Amino acid sequence: STDDFMKLGRPRLAFLVNGGNMDPMVNHYTVSKRRREKDLYTAGGKMGARPDRATIVYCNKIKEAYKNIDIVIGGLEASLRRLAHYDYWDNNVRNSMLIDSGADLLIYGMSEKQIVEVANALNDGFEAKYIRHINGTTYTIDSLDEIYGDYKLLPSRDEVTKDKMKYAEAFKIQYEEQDPVRGKVLVQKHGDRYVVCNTPEMPLTREELDKVYALPYTKECHP
């Protein structure tokens, strides 16, 4: 309920939403689409503590509880759905999760660098929807004129829904451009808007990786 989100209080910068360290749909259903009996990523193995398509549900509840609040999504669930994608459980093509969740910005990948850059930009007064310069992020625009630099235009959401060859073409381009050095910005039309996926973030250096793994993780269930 919205009461659970009200307990958190209004954040100073933004709500950062993550669907969990295991994709909710994979975690809830078998390959034959049967509901699993246990959730091994919830305390006590309790099933049902997390909703299906958790990121979308959480964002909707946040928008009910708070007005004019920035929402940034990330994690496994959002990363794998940053552009129009085939959904096994619906047996249909769904929108980018950025569109379906109504969030302002999507961070994809491991995000150790992006999360700091996004937090700094928010702290400097940027609205999340206008943070467009960070690698490893995805945002929406109204016009292609709002993009600076080179980009590749993917077949639109409507095209990949109606034509399997267009879907395959879009996937091929996405696959080939997932390179932080030579990859290009990807753009895909969704209705009257465009989803813009910046190039991936550069891999961490050895020193950066050591610093991340030296952090004091509790390795306990979220309260």
List, as one string, the DSSP characters of 173-203.
HHHHT--TTT--EEEEEETTEEEEEPPPPPP
- Tell me what the pLDDT averaged over the chain comes to: 95
* 206 vs 7: CA distance, rounded Å: 39
Does residue 170 surpass a pLDDT of 80? Answer: yes
For the chain, the domains span 2-213
**What pLDDT band is residue 21 in, cutting at 50, 70 and 90?**
confident
> In what helix (H) or strand (E) does residue 168 lie, and over which residues does it extend?
helix 164-176
CA 125 to chain centre: 22
38-47, 151-160, 191-200, 205-214, range with the lowest pLDDT: 38-47
Q: State mean pLDDT over 187-198.
A: 98
Does residue 217 surpass a pLDDT of 80? Answer: yes
Q: What is the pLDDT of residue 1?
A: 82
**78-129 pLDDT, tens per residue?**
999 999 999 999 999 999 999 999 999 999 999 999 999 999 999 999 999 9
